[in-house]
Structure 1
């Protein structure tokens, strides 16, 4: 028997009741169903707990079963993750899928006015929650390894948002493409952040604080000792709104457009030499697509049989997406038998590093002012060499260029 649609979300139209009926109509006749969804009175709790929670559980549950019943096997070596760790990771992934949906809704709500739309927390949450339906349902294909490729059908969720997002947020048709593209990019980043958190603390116990999914501006989610304060998301939303305005201006070529720094200027920031290392080559390039530009300068350094590259990249307005990670105060750390990987916010900049002691190689990067990426990558005596290479670039000057 199909489960009844939560009362506080409103009764579905005649022609098939319950959640199953709504899913069928949303997939087969999305435009008509979006109109019905737009007109129905709903609540934050009803949408998250009555729609997102059950559907978002499909994928994690399927992958949990797959990991235990059909363990990974490569070249005759079979690996099955510990049951407790797999269960905790599945629950974390599920909980964070709900949280990231709420985060995405906050940002959609903040972006709408920049594209001529209307702010509405409930409408934004409807757009985020119901457009994810196809992707969550396709999570069932994760139960069998050979069916995993079918998960690509979940991309139908992009089409669902394409149809319903602008409609619910009252975005004019001529501005809808920009609104959709920016919103989808941010939504994808939110999911990546959620996955990073789940993987980083997959072996820890989790706890969710009461009213975590309450009204905007309040509530926290505590997961394995890591707390996400939804109040901080307002800052992220404001920054994303500014980024979207710049992106829209860039696409149209109007005032306020962010222009990439000349690649020659970036090349001038690269050192001619580094103590003990000779610069063997240097190059720069720049370009734009759809009015959104970027530029890059890169140099190669060598000492004996070791070498690494040092690059400076202007990501333009797209770099502002990284502010989401900063607002969530996310970090991750992974230890391997021969090295480590970690990422964290330092002084408002996202820092990532990776090192392998066996191959004596790795990478170190800093994202300055949510725009300029400075990265050293290759082989060296230690990670300190790569850190020193990045430090040889005047980060303060890059900070000034971002203004």
Structure 2
């Protein structure tokens, strides 16, 4: 029988190191022998499977829903989507490595197929882990983790491809845009990444990144806040997930005219835990959900640092995502059937209310019914 610990332990250690201490881990990766087969089999293959597998499981177990509309893919359709997205993701890594190998000398770096593949595969770690966002309802905010990959590419440009720090930002811009183009060509765009960006963040004497860079259409990216979010992730990684029962105990028995009619809690190991309650009044009903994102709680900090913002509006309603008072918020409302959702991220916790109500204000009041102080004490 194969000893799984012999392979999973180094994998987990590498993932943890590249996410929490990229400046220290990139030189270690650069010094390792080039091993394309080993890099794929021991690192890319298991991590690239996270998104497709979680998407498949979510579809079969929960189906998909948005503002009152629900659907569930067929078993064969789900399997076909899982396999095709997995294969395309792996092929995309190799194609992007070829591009990085070609582009690096244009920025006074050094060409090298092995280093390019190391940069692409390890730099995509955050995007791989963002696939966990598809596993359980209420974990959608984890998708922001994928945006951290552009920071990993930036910090790895010099150690891996020998691109001078003065040109690392421009090199990263080309790499990220190339990744987007590869995804579009492959027909597998899973989320918008970032376009071209300019500006020059400062460098301290120790070589650490700091300051801000400007992303057209998104505003300023605060690298200091990104480092702070990474530090928060490291701190939270040393704390165990909150037991689901403790989260469930925070759900109030009533919210205004709405009475709690059902409760449910789920534990997902190191990924975190969640609890939700169903609240009903007359013909209206919504779900209030609390999610402990555990070690991934710093993801919202990445979103705030990147200035993530999205707004859509038409005659039937609106959707918007952004940062309010330093916290990521999501909000959507459909006028016709009075259906919507409102969510906020407080540190390692996500609170979201979704369903039918008289107005979006009732959903906001439901989220506000969860005491932030009590949440903070659970995570301390």
| Structure index of larger Rg | 1
Q: TM-score, normalised by structure 2?
A: 0.47
Which is bigger in relative contact order (C-alpha 8 A, separation at least 6)?
2
Q: TM-score, normalised by structure 1?
A: 0.45
